[in-house]
Chains A and B, each alone.
Chain A
Amino acid sequence: ETGVTQSPTHLIKTRGQQVTLRCSSQSGHNTVSWYQQALGQGPQFIFQYYREEENGRGNFPPRFSGLQFPNYSSELNVNALELDDSALYLCASSSTTGSQETQYFGPGTRLLVL
């Protein structure tokens, strides 16, 4: 198992609500990426944080936002939840060593929007 943890494990929300998901990166890792994985699909990149700054973003609307803290843990915030936001949300931490980078996933938060 990796040292990446996420909370909560499961969450049920209603349409229009807001949600905050949390991720603690593996020790020594300074980069956190967030992914959305719909049922039966591959992970879709949401955004990445490196040293507390957003380092890049996928094709997700602005209501998906994030933060990274000085200890490199991270939050994913989703506003105005829609039914299609129901998915497994994965964070992955990594550390760039020279040109090398290996990414390890957390266990995920399963979000259900009703």
Chain B
Amino acid sequence: GENVEQHPSTLSVQEGDSAVIKCTYSDSASNYFPWYKQELGKRPQLIIDIRSNVGEKKDQRIAVTLNKTAKHFSLHITETQPEDSAVYFCAAKGGTYKYIFGTGTRLKVLA
């Protein structure tokens, strides 16, 4: 069935360093890939997304890359700050109606 694998499950970086989270999807019909940030006790918030006709998208310190051939997409956060600490989820949406979410990455930015 449809599946999204996300790695790593936890990630600790020093403030100012970069963080990379990777996801792999199984449904080749997937064409939309959002990333959500979820702080403790709060709703998932969309931080960036990419569609299958684009290979890379950047928004300030956040970027997402997509490799459709390998079915990989990644989130890159540069110059990390303590407020970036949260759980990050990737998701994939294909020709069907539903989003398949990864299992999440807990990012800790150490001051």
Contact = CB atoms under 8 A, between A and B. Distances in A.
A48 B101 CA distance: 15
Interface of B: 6, 32, 34, 36, 42-46, 49, 51, 89, 91, 93, 96-104
A103 B100 CA distance: 13
Would you call the interface of chain A mostly helix, strand, loop, or mixed?
Answer: strand
A42 B32 contact: no
Given A102-B34, A105-B44, A107-B42, A56 B103 contact: no
Contacts of A48: 97-98
A101 B104 contact: no
Main secondary structure of the interface of B (DSSP, over half): strand
Contacts of B34: 102-103
A33 B97 CA distance: 9
Interface in A75-114: 90, 100-108
Contact of A56 (B36, B49, B98, B104): B98
Interface of A: 2, 33, 40-45, 48, 50, 55-56, 58, 90, 100-108
B43 A43 contact: no
Given A41-B103, A103-B34, 4 more contacts: A40-B104, A42-B104, A48-B98, A105-B43
A108 B43 contact: yes
